[in-house]
Structure 1
């Protein structure tokens, strides 16, 4: 069974891929995961910068535009990968996938990982609250909640992606296993680059 929520373009997954990584996190020691994520995202940001060059004579701020794009791409990619690693169901040894697609002048970031029922329920609660809320108000509520509870699960990353970068966010859920209940979660972020 599969379900799509939010701004998720399913047919983009067949074409337009410019970058893809696959991680087998069960094989990476816990102490090396953060470093692995940072190195992967730094490489990805540099790689993407080559696709978005601006002509100097057309725009005197081309370096600034390229830097802003690299910064946004790095933040979004890092957030998606961090969440995928943090919430990944490791017992099944499913690979974690991360890809970037180029659609006209838009970047589409896609992460895919597997989660257990408890994690899926938390994500669904967040998505339901997000769809019923104003993004800015929800962002500040989550900031307050995080400060009060000192929680590492504030979901501020998704809210920053929506609020700060005006990106579109969507999810696709697919059942992988019924016993134990494991679901594949594909998260998509669409970022306009112009």
Structure 2
């Protein structure tokens, strides 16, 4: 199994400012606070570099932090046991992110079906529909609101690859994101 959905190409080159973090699965157990701490760190790390090139520091920090936090929370929430790797880079005004984690086959199938649905239509229209549907059904979940917000409100270009490691084993999920920082 090796499927791709959306924009899975990264373009930042060797001259980009880059960072790679590994959240190790182990005795501390990966949790929500790791998402916010990591996203704040990366938001600050790259926003300082954006500021030097004339971009609005607060806007860059917020946009990068929100993007990282949303994708990292999904990785933590739906992951199978294993590390999460976060690779990020900035070249000019283009921020790129790649988050890799393991998911079980059932989660991969459900998530893949949701992604096909989310990428088939205009994200702004679908975002409004999903907000209305969630308001009508308080018990609904897994609607993709975070991903739709990234695409609609932030202009993020997102993509995913699913790669089965072994016949009966987990699936390696890689999430790609590109964001232009103004």
Aligned to 1:3, the other structure's residue is in SS state strand
Alignment partners' CA distance in 1, 2:160 and 2:15: 18
- Paired position in structure 2 for 1:77: 68
Is 1:72–1:165's contact at 8 Å kept on the other side of the alignment?
yes
1:138 equivalent in structure 2: 126
Gaps in structure 2 of 5+ consecutive residues: none
Aligned residues: 181
The Cα RMSD (Å) is 2.3
- What TM-score do the two structures reach when normalised by structure 1? 0.83
Does 2:111 correspond to 1:123? yes
1:18 counterpart SS class: strand
Residues 150/14 of structure 1: CA separation in 2 closer, same or farther (3 Å cut)? farther
Is the CA contact (8 Å cut-off) linking 1:17 and 1:99 kept in structure 2?
no
Specify the alignment match of 1:155 in structure 2: 144
Question: Could you tell me how far 1:25 is from its partner in structure 2?
Answer: 3.3
1:18 maps to 18
Shift in CA distance, 176/149, structure 1 to aligned 2, threshold 3 Å: farther
Per the normalisation by structure 2, the TM-score is 0.88
Structure-2 residue corresponding to 1:89: 80
How many Å separate the matches in 2 of 1:82 and 1:47? 19
State the distance in 2 between where 1:17 and 1:187 align: 20
Q: CA deviation at 1:10?
A: 5.3
Compared CA separation, residues 27 and 151, structure 1 to 2 (3 A): farther
Indicate the SS of the match to 1:191: strand
- Native 8 Å contact 2:12 2:90 kept in 1: no
> Residues 105, 157 of structure 1: CA spacing in aligned structure 2 closer, same or farther, 3 A cutoff?
same
Residues 1:119 and 1:15: Cα distance change in structure 2 (over 3 Å): farther
> Do the aligned partners of residues 178 and 26 (structure 1) sit closer, same or farther apart at CA in structure 2, a change above 3 Å counting?
farther
Alpha-carbon separation, structure 1, partners of 2:112 and 2:13:
22
* Counterpart pick for 1:105 among 93, 102, 119: 93
Is 1:193 the counterpart of 2:154? The answer is no
Quick check: 2:8–2:160 contact (8 Å CA) kept in 1? yes
